[in-house]
Amino acid sequence: MTHTPTSATPASAAPAPATAVADIPALVTRLRTAFAGGRTKPLDRRLEQLAALRALLTEQAEEFQRALAADLGKSAAEAYRTEIGFTLHELDHTVAHLEEWLRPKPAAVPEVFRPAEARVVRDPLGVVLIIAPWNYPLQLALAPLVGALAAGNVAVVKPSELAPATSAAMARLLPRYLDPETVTVVEGAVPETTALLEQRFDHIFYTGNGTVGRIVMAAAARHLTPVTLELGGKSPVVVEPGADLALTARRIARGKFLNAGQTCVAPDYVLAVGGTAAGLEEQLAAAVHELYGDDPAASPAYGRIVNERHFDRLTALLADGRVVTGGGHDRAERYLAPTVLADVSPDAPVMTAEIFGPVLPIVTVPDLDAAIAFINERDKPLALYAFTESEATKQRLTEETSSGALTFGLPVSHLAMPELPFGGVGESGMGRYHGEYSIDTFSHAKAVVDKPLTDRPLA
Ligand code: NAD
């Protein structure tokens, strides 16, 4: 059953033909048969597939970097750090702990049932569907796949059609490394995804926007299939007086303008508390200059907007405030400068929907009470960030707000800590993954009770 990575095959070979909608039912049936045969369950087999995935990511790193540059203008360094290296880190953490995570967990048995023993075992679910978006098209397809394979499942990976080069690279390369009987890539857009969603899966793991999240959940309901929805939303950054504004601005800018702002946990807007706005404006402009120089368009570290539709949507938001820095754009290049907007009204369009691009509005609020009220009046964010020196503020934000994650002083970082659960709450999603949380997501915690078939002698 060993599958040897065929790294000698040239990466530039002809692309795999796109999956025909009519072939999808048979493809899922084939995976289900492979799962039923038990080949994905033994620990050795899981580790072997994870090693093959590791080989794919290391041996084909340049191929993926080229694809990510074509799709999103990502520099090779950023592509490695946020996609390839990120997934390898997740994979290595999983491999290091998998045996321990899969060990049956003993459970206490009440006196009345003794000498029975009880334990929890983690059963693979079966056939898993992973639907990925375009913004981190490799990471968001393959990091969930790490969890799905580690938990002993077979999987369909559906990359985003809006990152076509990365989608094609995955379709071409995955079957050369991973057992094609147990992992399949289905390329395509709405028709292909709709056809997939008609099939019965044992789990659907969707990353993307909430509108499609609802379509996925409705389709899953027909088969009582559990779903994980990794969605987005507006992640606020609270900045309190007393925070070092130069350092704060540098860290906000780094998180915001990574991937040209197209990051689900990017700081969406700043809530400048009690007179911090003016200092922040100045320091954010300086931070952008420090990161991308006089002309961000010429900076290899700065990405591009994924397509014209998103470019047009984002440039329309520039009128919603006073441009502190940035604002420049070039449609032919899908370039939009890292932009900071001040004097933004809470009712402006830039404040009503997730920005998902390099535009950072600053909204002023008089005090922490107003900041907390502002956050709680809106959908629960995927992440909440704060810059404060006050432990009392940290305590209040922890206890009085709800968000997928909460970080003080370092936006976006929680994503890269595999011991932390990654996921949203309310409108920002349901379920979580990374590290052991992925094993929870992609397996069933089965209760097992075992009592000897002899009666205990009466005392
Ligand atoms: P997208 O347009 O690539 O869509 C995501 C996936 O849904 C794609 O594979 C696409 O083919 C599929 N899809 C699109 N329309 C569909 C339909 N009608 N029926 C079935 N499937 C369909 O990506 P997107 O939604 O633009 O991604 C951006 C959003 O994702 C943002 O809101 C962002 O915050 C969120 N996001 C969340 C995370 C997270 O981990 N929580 C990560 C990245 C992005």
**Residue of minimum CA distance from atom 5 in ligand 1:** 133
Cβ-contact 38, 171 below 8 angstroms: no
CA angle 406, 412, 414 (to 5 degrees): 60
Domains and CATH numbers, the chain: 21-231+424-448 (3.40.605.10), 236-416 (3.40.309.10)
Of the candidates 376, 134, 359, the residue with the CA atom closest to the CA atom of residue 268: 359
Tokens 């520099």: give the residue. Answer: 75
* Average pLDDT, rounded, for the chain: 95
pLDDT score for 87? 98
* Active-site entry in 230, 240, 281, 436: 230
Which token pair is 248? 């704060």
- Torsion (CA) 142, 380, 369, 262 in degrees, nearest 10: 40
* Active-site entry in 264, 281, 354, 427: 264
Label residue 213 by pLDDT band (50, 70, 90): very high
Distance CA(432)–CA(177), nearest Å, equals 27
Label residue 9 by pLDDT band (50, 70, 90): very low
Contacts of 351 (CB under 8 A, 6+ apart): 234, 269, 320, 344, 345, 361, 363
Which tens digits make up the pLDDT trace of 52-105? 999 999 999 999 999 999 999 999 999 999 999 999 999 999 999 999 999 999
133 pLDDT higher than 80: yes
Question: How many percent of the chain have pLDDT more than 70?
Answer: 95
Cβ-contact 338, 325 below 8 angstroms: yes
Pairing of strands 359-365, 267-273: parallel
Distance CA(361)–CA(267), nearest Å, equals 10
Radius of gyration over alpha carbons of the chain, in Å?
24
436 belongs to the catalytic site: no
4 pLDDT higher than 60: no
Contacts of 205 (CB under 8 A, 6+ apart): 128, 129, 130, 131, 144, 148, 227, 228, 230, 431, 433, 441, 442
457 pLDDT higher than 80: no
How many whole angstroms from 229 Cα to the centroid of ligand 1?
Answer: 10
Question: How many percent of the chain have pLDDT more than 90?
Answer: 94
On the CB side of 338, how many CA atoms lie within 13 Å of its CA? 32
The ligand 1 atom nearest the CA atom of 382: 41
Distance CA(31)–CA(38), nearest Å, equals 11
pLDDT score for 454? 83
148 pLDDT higher than 60: yes
How many whole angstroms from 69 Cα to the centroid of ligand 1?
Answer: 20
Ligand 1 pocket test, candidate residues 193, 205, 228, 234, most atoms within 8 A of CB: 193
Q: Is 168 left (phi over 0), alpha (psi -120 to 50) or beta?
A: alpha
CA angle 158, 164, 168 (to 5 degrees): 70
Cβ-contact 202, 127 below 8 angstroms: yes
Instruction: For residue 52, give the H/E element and its range.
Output: helix 43-59
Cβ-contact 321, 343 below 8 angstroms: yes
pLDDT score for 271? 98
pLDDT score for 299? 96
Residue count (the chain): 459
Which token pair is 100? 């321990």
63 belongs to the catalytic site: no
- Torsion (CA) 413, 270, 386, 287 in degrees, nearest 10: 60
- Pocket residues: Cβ below 6 A from ligand 1: 131-135, 140, 158, 160-162, 189-190, 193-194, 207-209, 212, 215, 230-232, 264, 354, 356, 382, 424, 429
DSSP state of 81: I
Which token pair is 268? 């969406």
Q: Is the peptide bond before 180 cis (omega within 30 degrees of 0)?
A: no
Of the candidates 420, 6, 1, 423, the residue with the CA atom closest to the CA atom of residue 177: 6
Cβ-contact 115, 451 below 8 angstroms: yes
Label residue 19 by pLDDT band (50, 70, 90): confident
Question: What are the beta bridge partners of residue 4?
Answer: none
Distance CA(416)–CA(86), nearest Å, equals 7
Cα distance between the two ends of the chain: 54
φ, ψ (nearest 5 deg) of residue 199: -80, 160
Distance CA(66)–CA(75), nearest Å, equals 9
170-190 mean pLDDT: 97
Which token pair is 68? 């990510």
10 pLDDT higher than 70: no
15 pLDDT higher than 70: no
Question: What are the beta bridge partners of residue 258?
Answer: none
Q: What is the pTM of this model?
A: 0.94
Pairing of strands 117-124, 105-107: antiparallel
